[in-house]
Amino acid sequence: MREVDFLLVGGGMASAYCASELRRQGADGSVMLVGREQDPPYERPPLSKEYLRGEAKREDAVVNGTDWYVENDVELLSGKSVMSLDVGERMAKIQGSEEVRFGKALLATGAMVNILRVEGAELEGIHYLRAFGNSDSIREEAGKAERAVLIGGSYIGCEVAASLVEMGVECAIVMQEEVALSNGFGEEAGRFFQDVLESKGVEIIGGTALGSFDGDGRVERVVTEDGRELDCDFCVVGAGVRPDVMLAQRAGLEVDNGIVCSARLETSVEGIFAAGDCCSYDSQVHGRRLRVEHWDVALQQGRHAARGMLGGTDPYTAIPYFFSDLSDWVGLEYVGPAKDWDEVVFRGVFDDGEFSAWYLKDGAVAGALAVGRGEDLIHARALIESGADVEPRKAELADADSELETVGA
């Protein structure tokens, strides 16, 4: 029976950065990384952007090249799954019947896309985006299509629509929210992004849900819940994801909208950690449990989990950071996340495409969005961490000529 000191389950960002941090911290024990995809761990943001548009290659998105794993003595098992975990015996069964005994483990099993269960969902030409192969299929469709319909008005729907328009495909977005990206940023900020999309020719159909897909063997049109029919050559669905907790649940770990973790990212079983999309951790900064689906969080949590596996006791206190690009039309950055807010204070000018939006809850900064003003987020992070009352200084917060260092001081 094989034995490893550190077993990393999941072939994404969190595991890759956990492996590199273990070695950076001087861990000399054996490390095994097991991922179900055939590719080594890679970054997913390019799948809806430059990789989809054919402007980048697969190797450009890979976190650590295959040579790195050899040079750093990290055993990489791609195209394999961990079928079961016995957390008491510290035993993992790898696909192919191999059994491995481990010392400590990271569960970074990620998330699974939500598959729509509506009439016509089985038709050809309906795509979801999670892996290289999905992006390849969408690019192939775009090369011979005139019109696509995107389902969902959040990151995936908006990013893919922007990329497809750049590739010469006419696009429409069908979404339940009235304004694109408004669920996370509010209607006023969301309207800015929707205006950008519409100015580039993207048709936005808001305030209605998908009713059904229609076609003869292949999708030919989308029918909204209120009866509107939209012809298309193919569809891309961005209906969110759900954390992949199946392995953890079968192993008896506590799960609740993710794998339940302490502030250290340790699961309900000592010595087993979680990170990335599947990790629901106790955030001491936010005063609530958080599960965040984004690139930077997986990266940061993977590193933190590595330090915890080596005996570190510090809580994970990094402020979650998000970014998105609508082709090269506009980019956004965000820190938070704000669960809800009482007021939004805007700094800068919408029309110039340089502004920040500050989401206040009970007088404190709960989140901040930046377009063309990424430097504002440095101060936003500090204000979120401190919980300072900025209510008396809102005028300074809104004045782009004032010094942010003084707000909350």
Neighbour tally for 162: CB within 10 Å: 27
Q: Do you find a cis peptide bond into 392, omega within 30 degrees of 0?
A: no
- Report d(CA 24, CA 337) in Å as an integer: 30
- Report d(CA 21, CA 23) in Å as an integer: 5
Q: How confident is the model at residue 334 (pLDDT cuts 50, 70, 90)?
A: very high
Q: At what angle do helices 295-309 and 13-24 cross, to 10 degrees?
A: 40
Q: Which fold does the domain 338-406 belong to in CATH?
A: Enolase-like; domain 1 (3.30.390)
Q: Which DSSP symbol is given to 379? A: H
Q: What is the mean pLDDT of residues 105-132?
A: 97
For residue 330, pLDDT beyond 70 = yes
Strand partners, 212: 119, 223
Where does the chain hold its CATH 3.50.50.60 domain(s)? 2-112+242-309, 115-237
Which CATH superfamily includes the segment(s) 2-112+242-309? FAD/NAD(P)-binding domain (3.50.50.60)
- Sorted by sequence, the CB contacts under 8 Å of residue 365 that are 6+ apart come out as 358, 359, 380, 383, 384, 388, 390, 408
| CATH annotation of 115-237 | 3.50.50.60
Neighbour tally for 313: CB within 10 Å: 9
Q: Which DSSP symbol is given to 182? A: H
For residue 150, pLDDT beyond 80 = yes
- For residue range 213-225, what is the model confidence (pLDDT) as tens digits? 999 999 999 999 9
Q: At what angle do helices 182-199 and 155-166 cross, to 10 degrees?
A: 10
- Let me know if 309 is exposed, middle or buried by CB neighbors in 10 A (0-12, 13-18, 19+): buried
3-state secondary structure (DSSP) of residue 369: strand
Q: How confident is the model at residue 1 (pLDDT cuts 50, 70, 90)?
A: confident
- For residue range 369-379, what is the model confidence (pLDDT) as tens digits? 999 999 999 99
Looking at residue 409, its pLDDT comes to: 59
For residue 120, pLDDT beyond 90 = yes
